[in-house]
Amino acid sequence: MTAIDQIKQDIETNDVVLYMKGTKEMPQCGFSSRVAGVLNFMGVTYKDVNVLADADIRQGIKDFSDWPTIPQLYVKGEFVGGCDIVTEMTLSGELDQLFEAKGVAFNKDAADQIRAANA
């Protein structure tokens, strides 16, 4: 299976996938840590893919999305964005709306707490 095939399979079989440096339990960069932290705090169930463990996946995800940086968040097969976009969407409430529209369970109170802490 090629890296692209693996990526397609991951995003088709998981509602939420985060391609990141490190794991959701131990992120290996600040940007990955921020996105994983948001998802973890909001109680979102997601698959984490450590791009540092596989050079083909690391390059493959950049080619697949035509997005040059990691982390990359996918929700129901749709590329959402990287750290800056996810942060902006969290603070504006757009991430809540996306999760609601796609039927992804999350803790609304936790999302509100993030916004309150960053107001």
Q: For residue 95, what are its two tokens?
A: 């991430």
Degrees (nearest 5) of the Cα angle 71, 23, 52? 65
Per-position DSSP letters for 44-73, written without gaps between them? ---EEEEGGG-HHHHHHHHHHHT--SS-EE
Quick check: 109 and 103 in contact, CB under 8 A? no
Cα–Cα distances in angstroms (integers) from residue 84 to residues 54, 103, 105, in the given order? 24, 23, 22
* Residue 29 counted as an annotated binding residue: yes
Binding-site sequence positions: 29
Binding-site sequence positions for [2Fe-2S] cluster: 29
